[in-house]
Amino acid sequence: MQRVEALIERLTAAGWLTQNRVRAALHDVPRHVFAPPVAWTGDGERVSKEADPEGWLDLVYGDDAIITQLDDGTTDLTTGAGRFTSSLSASSTVVSLLELLDVEPGHRVLDVGTGTGWTAALLSRLVGSANVTSVEVDPAVSAQASANLKSAGQAPRLIVGDGAHGWAQEAPYDRVHATCAVARVPYAWVGQTRPGGVIATPYAPGFGSSHELRLVVMPDGTAVGRFTGYASYMMMRAQRHPDWDASDRHGDRSTTDIDPRTIGYAPAGADLAMGAALPGVCARGAHDGAAYTLRLWSADAWAEAHYEPGRDSFDVEQGGDRPLWDLAVSAYFDWIAHRSPGRDRFGLTVSPAGDRVWLDHPGDIA
């Protein structure tokens, strides 16, 4: 199919696609089989397969995520109004994680987040359907994936359940692959993977950037790895970050000489350092014309810092049990003092006690 070839050429030219076996899987598992009849990227462009089949194929074989569910299925997808809760992931991000996984024929793979089934089908093509177990929390999503996979001629084992618990019945696995982001890597994934096995997952602790993470399971029952790039995925349902509470709040007011955009626009390495210093804290920025507001929040505290053009100082309000703005600023300048290390210098260790971010070496604390 010409569009498949064109997609493969684009992914190869951009450096996403380097492995011949992944290239062959893309040939054999066409993406359009897993796309909904109304394709929509979330940016307003919406194309009906029935009304415009060529335009629909063009969109499906682009490199955008296609939205497949709104509000956990409670909102009609065709309305386009609601929270994105499932998608046919962008081809480049799918390929990137598959290449990090580095599977071989016969590897036993746990796939967390079946979604449309496309990644489960690609994995089935790579290692054999009998070796793939794919877990999906939403029964309706799993049922549609089952139909899609049947149309594609692939038959991995499909489980309806919480992927945070893995699927112990088929353990041990050689590889664990996640199509949803996690704020904390479930230790069940580590416990169900044999030593030397690989876990590839999007990692989104909440503070700014989301990251691509590759872990290797060690003989001592921990998993150790590094952040390899950017990865934007929807959160695992069990680990979704709380929304910002817009209700009236009254905290301590102050001013700062530090432009809130310094924190809000910080690069990925700084986000990892600040997130490690402030576990459980979310950070998001929002523009209102030329003005900018950075919001920080957690279960026990919150902060807002406002930038306005022409101001020599900036307003800050924070409340709760911790001064989140002050702590974020301190963590940011500590990152500066460490010579502003990039994302590729940070890593993560997962143990029964939880996750620990480190800088350069697993024994060092970020």
Return d(Cα 269, Cα 275) in angstroms, integer.
10
- 120: amino acid identity, one letter: A
Residues 6+ apart with CB under 8 A from 339: none
Return d(Cα 324, Cα 256) in angstroms, integer.
14
Q: Name which of 125, 31, 127 is nearest 87 in CA terms.
A: 31
20-28 vs 2-13: helix crossing angle, rounded to 10? 150
Task: Tell me if residue 232 is catalytic.
Answer: no
Catalytic pick among 86, 89, 91, 298: 89
Q: Name which of 29, 242, 203, 53 is nearest 120 in CA terms.
A: 29
Residue 153 in tokens? 């001629």
Q: Which residues pair with 301 in a beta bridge?
A: 320
* Cα 104 → chain centroid: 24
Q: Taking a C-beta distance cutoff of 8 angstroms, is the pair 4, 30 a contact?
A: yes
Q: What is the CA radius of gyration of the chain?
A: 21
As annotated, the active-site residues are 89
